[in-house]
Structure 1
Amino acid sequence: MKVLLGATQLAKRSDVTEEHGRRDLRDNLESDFKKGDSPAEWAPGHPVAWGHEQWKFSSGEEKSVTSVSATSDEKYFAIAIDDTLVIFEVDGYKLASVLKTGDGPIKSIEFARKPSEDTYVLACQYGDQYGRATNVKIWLLDQDCREIDPDKKIVVEGYLPTFAPSVFSSDCKTLLLLATTTDEWGSHLAIVALDVQTGKEKFRMTGHTDSIMWTGFSPDDKFIASAAWDRYMKLWSGEDGKFIRDYGPTGAQNWACAFDPEGVNLAVTTGAHRALMWRIDDPQSFPIALAGKVGWERVISNSPDGTKLAIGSADGRLMVHETKAMTLIQVWQLGAEIGGSRWLKEVTEIKWLDNGNRISWTPSDGSLQMYDFETNMKWKWAAGKEDKWRRGAWFNTVVLLERKGLIGSRDQDGAFRMWKIPEK
C-alpha cells in the first residue's frame, strides 16, 4: 500500500494550458447547464486531467479504494481499502491511525457528525456478502481518531443502505442498518435502529415485502423514512420506530428518498421514469410528480437553502428542480459515445456547495464535475486518454471539505484524489 503525496504529482503536462485546459476531455453533451440563453462556460484551465490533483492515495493496481468519509469538523478523513481503514489529518495529510476489520473487505464507511469535543464515531460495513454474513462495526475514536478502547467491540450482523447519504441521526445517538428478519412474508431485510454507544438494538421496523434500498432520518430526527422495491415508501417514528403511514404504491421499484431541509416534504425516486413528492403532514394529498425522468434514479439531494432539488439518473442525466413551483430548471445530459451507451454513465453522487449556488456530481465516466449557478461557470476533473480506469457505478464516494476549500473523490481507477475547490 502506498500513499502518494500531491507534491510528487503536480508536474505540468505539456497538453494542459491555463487558458483552455484539456480539449479532449470536454464532454459530448446532449444538454448542458445554462443561465438564460447562455450555455455554461469552461473555467480557465478546465477540464483538468488526473495528475494535477493536490493529493492522491493509491495502492497501485493491487486494491481499489472502496469508500471514503470525513469528520464534520473537517479535521480528518478516512479511506477504506480491502479490510483496512486509513485515517488522515486534513491539514498536511498526516497519517492519524489505521484500523482493520480482520474479517473481510470493507464496502462502505461513514463518520457521524461530531457528537462531542473529544470523540468521533465511525461506522463500517464489511464482509463477503456472497459467501458469509456481512457485518456493521462501530468504532468509537478519541480526538486524535484513535480507538478509545480496542477491547470494546461493537459489531452487528447487517448492511448499511447503499443509497442513503447518512445512516446516523443528527444527534449521533442512533444508527440505522438493514438486517434479515423473518415474518409472515418470509425472510427479508428489516430496518434496525442501534444505540451508537452500546451497539444494542433500540427498535426494529418491519413491513416492507421486498428489498429495502434507502432509509434515513428527517432533519429533526422526528421521522424515519424508508423506500423499497415493494413500490412503497414508509414513514416511522424516529423516537420508537412506530409505523406512521405508507406512501404509494409508486408504480415501480423505489430507490432513494430525500427530506427537504425543513422536513416538510419527502421525495422518492422510482424505476417508473418519475420521482414523486409528498407533504409529510398531509397524507391524503396527491403526490407531486417531477418531470424529466429517464431510467433508474438512485441519487437525490436538496440544496442546503431548500431552493433546489437535484436528481441523477442512469443515462448520465442530472436534473435540477426549483422547489417552490417544482419546475425543471436545468438538465445536464451526457451523450452516447460512438459504439457505446449512455446507460453506462449513471450519475451516482451529488454534493452542494456555497449554500446551493454550486453543485458537484459524478457521472460514471471517470470524472468529477462542478457548476456555479451564479457565474455560469463549470469545472471538470477527469481521466485523460492515457489513464487506465474502468466503468461502473459507485456511491458515496465524494468527500466535501468546503471550509478547507477541498473536494475529494474515489475515482474509477480505484484511487482517491483531493482537489482544490475553485475560488468564487
Structure 2
Amino acid sequence: MPTITSEQFMEQYKLPIEAASDFHIGGASAEWAASHPKDWGQEDDSIVLPNNGMENGELRGYSSFSGTVSYDYKLLAVCSKSKIRIYDIATKELRQTLDGTGLMQFRPFTPTSDTQKHDEGAGGQSHSPAYMLLSSTSVPRRSRSIEIERPELIFWELDRNGRLLDEEEPIDVSGYASKAIEGIAGELEQKHEWSRDFIDGSTLLEEFGQALEKVAAEHRRLHNTIIPESSIGGPVSRPFSHDGKRLLYNVPRGHVTVVWDVDASTELFRLSGHKDNILWMGFSPDDKHIATVAWDGTMRMHSADDGALEWIADAGGQCWVGAFSNDSKYIAWTCQNGQELWIHQVEDGKKINQIQVKFTDWCRRLAWNSDNKQLALCVGGSAMIWRPFDEDEKSKKSNISQHYELPKDKTFYGFAEIDHVEWADNDRKLVLSITDGTYLVWDSQTNTKEMFKKTTGIHVAWTSSGFFYIPGDNGGTYITLNGDGNVRFWKPSGPTERALRNQEEGSGVQHTHIEEERVTSAQAVMKEGNSAGSRDAWAEKGAELWTAE
C-alpha cells in the first residue's frame, strides 16, 4: 500500500454521510436535523481570519489554528502562527491582536458587584482586568553559544471590551530598519565594495525588519505576567482551578507540575514524583484535589491545599488523559498505552471499574456528562458513551449505551478518526470532532444529528479546540474554527417532522448493551491500517500544535 501523508488525507478524503454504527434511541437510529448535513459556506455568518495561510482557496504550507472562548461567552480568541486575535462574538469585531502561539485558555472568573465597584475608577473605567488570557510562546535563549527556543506562559490582561489594559505604542519596523541600513550602507560601500544596487536588491531590509519585529514582540510581552520555562501540558489538560485562583503548569524536561497563585503571581508548591512526561493534569471540580497522568504508567492524586500525595495508581504502559466526574467523586483515565480505561474513587484511589473493551488504538479523550453517570470517549474511528455504574443483566458488564463509528476506508486507515468528544448545551448534546475538520453534533433528547462538513478537495490546516456552543435565545449558536482560516457561526437546527414523530412514538432513551465484538470491529480495522509510518506522520501534526511553546 502506498504511503499516505496527512496533506493527502486532508485534500482527498471524503467523509461518508452515513455511519457504520449510529446513535440510537428506543431502537431507532438518529435522524438528520433539518437542512443537514451542511457544508462550509452554508453558515449563517463568518469571520475570515487575516493572514490565514490560504491563497486562492489553497493552504500555503503547514499551519495550525486553536481557539478558546471567555467564561461569559463574549470573547473568542483565535491563535494562528505567532498571533492571537481577540474577537467580540456578538459583533464579530476584532478587538485586539497579541503575540503568542499554541494552546490558550481564558481564566475562569466571575466578578462580583463589590469587585466591579472597586475596580471602577473615574468615568467608570476599570483598572483591573475583566479577562485574563493564558497563552504560550517561545523565546530564543542562548545556551553555550547555541540559540534555543524556550517555552513561556503569558497572562494577557484585557478590559471588558477585550482590549489590552496596558498596550505599548507599536514601533515603525520598516522605518527603523531603513534607518539602520542607511547608517551602515556608506561604510559597506567604501570598505567592502557593496554596491547600492546590491544592498537594495538583497534581503537585508527584510531580515532587519524581521529581527526588529521579533525583538519588539518580546518587549511588548514584558508588560504582562510571564512564567519562564513553562508549558500547560497536553491539549486536554485543565490548567486552571475552577475558581480561577490557581494554575497548573509543567516544567519542561523536569517531570514536575507547578501550582501557581494567579493573583499573587507566585509559585505555591510543586508536585513531583513522575519519571516521564506528564500528559494531563487537572483540578477536581470542587478544587480539593489535583491529578496528574504521565507516560510512566501512573496517575498521582494530590491534595490541592498543600500538594501532599494522597495516592498513586500504577497501571503500566504509557498513559494519556484523565477526567474527573462533575461531583468530584470519581476519576477516569486511559492507561496501558491508552488501550484501557479505568475508574477510581477520588477519595481513596480504589479502582471500581474498567471498561470491558480492549482498545487497539489510543483512547485520548474523555468527557463526563454532568449527570455523573455517562462518560463519553473516542478511540480511532469510534465514539462511545459508557455508563460505568449501570450493569447489563444479561452480560453482567457495564453498559456502552451509544456507539458511533465511521465507515471503514482502506485508503485512509489511521487518518480518518474521531479525535475529540465533548458535551454541549447543558450536556444534552454530544459533539464529535473528526480529523478532516468536520464536526458532528448528536442531540440525545431529539435523537437528531447535525453535521458541519469540511469542503472536499482542499488542503486545510490542523485545528485544535475548534468547536464552541454559545448559549442564547432560540437555541444559542455554534461556532466552528475551521482549517481554511474561517470562523463560522451556525444556528442549531431543529428536528425534522419525521424525527419528531419517531420521538413521540418512542419511549425515551434505551441503553442497549453493545457486545465487545461489535465495538472492536472498527478497532480491528484501525490496527490493520495503522502502520507506524502513517500513524507517526499524522500524530506529529497534532503534537506539533500543543508542543509549540
Taking the aligned partners of 2:36 and 2:148, their CA distance within structure 1 comes to 44
Shift of 1:28: 5.1
When you count strand as a share of all residues, which structure comes out higher? 1
Alignment of 1:205-220 (within 5 A): 205-220=271-286
Aligned to 2:487: 416
2:23 maps to which of 21, 25, 33: 33
Alignment of 1:275-286 (within 5 A): 275-283=341-349, 285-286=350-351
Aligned to 2:384: 319
Q: What are structure 2's unaligned runs of at least 5 residues?
A: 1-13, 117-128, 141-146, 168-221, 391-397, 496-549
The answer as to whether partners of 2:139 and 2:152 remain within 8 angstroms in 1 is: no
Taking the aligned partners of 2:342 and 2:360, their CA distance within structure 1 comes to 14
The answer as to whether partners of 2:368 and 2:375 remain within 8 angstroms in 1 is: yes
Q: TM-score, normalised by structure 1?
A: 0.84
**CA offsets 1:216-251 (integer angstroms, 9 cap, x no match):** 00001100001001110010111222221101x223
Taking the aligned partners of 1:278 and 1:57, their CA distance within structure 2 comes to 45
The answer as to whether partners of 1:162 and 1:395 remain within 8 angstroms in 2 is: no
The change in CA–CA distance for 1:66 and 1:107 in structure 2 (over 3 A counts) is same
2:409 maps to which of 331, 337, 350: 337
Taking the aligned partners of 1:25 and 1:230, their CA distance within structure 2 comes to 36
Shift of 1:290: 1.4
Shift of 1:189: 2.6
Aligned to 1:290: 355
The one-letter code of the counterpart of 2:79 is A
The change in CA–CA distance for 1:349 and 1:409 in structure 2 (over 3 A counts) is farther
Aligned to 1:384: 455
Q: State yes or no: 1:228 paired with 2:307.
A: no
Shift of 1:198: 4.0
The one-letter code of the counterpart of 2:235 is F
Aligned to 2:470: 401
**CA offsets 1:65-105 (integer angstroms, 9 cap, x no match):** 5211111111111111122111111112112222224xxxx
Aligned to 1:354: 425
Taking the aligned partners of 2:338 and 2:161, their CA distance within structure 1 comes to 47
The change in CA–CA distance for 1:189 and 1:282 in structure 2 (over 3 A counts) is closer
1:55 maps to which of 46, 67, 70: 46
**CA offsets 1:290-313 (integer angstroms, 9 cap, x no match):** 134341011101112323110111
The answer as to whether partners of 1:155 and 1:199 remain within 8 angstroms in 2 is: no
**Total equivalences in the alignment:** 385
Q: What are structure 1's unaligned runs of at least 5 residues?
A: 1-23, 181-186
Aligned to 1:12: none
The change in CA–CA distance for 1:44 and 1:423 in structure 2 (over 3 A counts) is closer
Q: Secondary structure at the match of 1:268?
A: strand
Aligned to 1:127: 138
Taking the aligned partners of 2:322 and 2:48, their CA distance within structure 1 comes to 32
The answer as to whether partners of 1:85 and 1:98 remain within 8 angstroms in 2 is: yes
Taking the aligned partners of 1:402 and 1:65, their CA distance within structure 2 comes to 27
Alignment of 1:43-192 (within 5 A): 43-53=33-43, 54-58=45-49, 59=52, 60=54, 61=59, 64-101=63-100, 106-116=101-111, 117=116, 119-127=130-138, 131-150=148-167, 152-156=223-227, 157-180=229-252, 187-192=253-258
The change in CA–CA distance for 1:36 and 1:423 in structure 2 (over 3 A counts) is closer
The answer as to whether partners of 2:85 and 2:94 remain within 8 angstroms in 1 is: yes
Taking the aligned partners of 1:127 and 1:57, their CA distance within structure 2 comes to 26
The answer as to whether partners of 1:277 and 1:288 remain within 8 angstroms in 2 is: yes
Aligned to 1:253: 318
User: Identity, % of aligned pairs?
Assistant: 25
Larger radius of gyration: 2
Taking the aligned partners of 1:100 and 1:354, their CA distance within structure 2 comes to 32
Q: Secondary structure at the match of 1:194?
A: strand
The change in CA–CA distance for 1:406 and 1:133 in structure 2 (over 3 A counts) is same
The answer as to whether partners of 1:178 and 1:189 remain within 8 angstroms in 2 is: yes
The one-letter code of the counterpart of 1:31 is S
Q: State yes or no: 1:269 paired with 2:334.
A: yes
Question: Greater CA deviation, 59-68 or 156-165?
Answer: 59-68
Taking the aligned partners of 1:218 and 1:362, their CA distance within structure 2 comes to 25
Taking the aligned partners of 2:264 and 2:96, their CA distance within structure 1 comes to 23
**CA offsets 1:222-281 (integer angstroms, 9 cap, x no match):** 00001001110010111222221101x223211111100100000001325220000112
Taking the aligned partners of 2:83 and 2:408, their CA distance within structure 1 comes to 37
1:364 maps to which of 428, 435, 441: 435
**CA offsets 1:387-424 (integer angstroms, 9 cap, x no match):** 4336x6x5433222133612223334354333223347
Taking the aligned partners of 1:297 and 1:395, their CA distance within structure 2 comes to 17
Taking the aligned partners of 2:277 and 2:40, their CA distance within structure 1 comes to 37
The one-letter code of the counterpart of 1:253 is Q
When you count helix as a share of all residues, which structure comes out higher? 2
**CA offsets 1:338-360 (integer angstroms, 9 cap, x no match):** 4221x213323222123222111
Taking the aligned partners of 2:234 and 2:480, their CA distance within structure 1 comes to 17
Q: Secondary structure at the match of 2:426?
A: helix
Taking the aligned partners of 1:319 and 1:252, their CA distance within structure 2 comes to 23
The answer as to whether partners of 1:260 and 1:306 remain within 8 angstroms in 2 is: yes
The change in CA–CA distance for 1:245 and 1:319 in structure 2 (over 3 A counts) is same
The change in CA–CA distance for 1:112 and 1:81 in structure 2 (over 3 A counts) is same
**CA offsets 1:167-193 (integer angstroms, 9 cap, x no match):** 11111111111113xxxxxx5331011
Q: Secondary structure at the match of 1:188?
A: coil
* CA RMSD of superposed structures (Å): 2.3
The answer as to whether partners of 1:398 and 1:407 remain within 8 angstroms in 2 is: yes
Q: Secondary structure at the match of 2:371?
A: coil
Taking the aligned partners of 1:214 and 1:335, their CA distance within structure 2 comes to 30
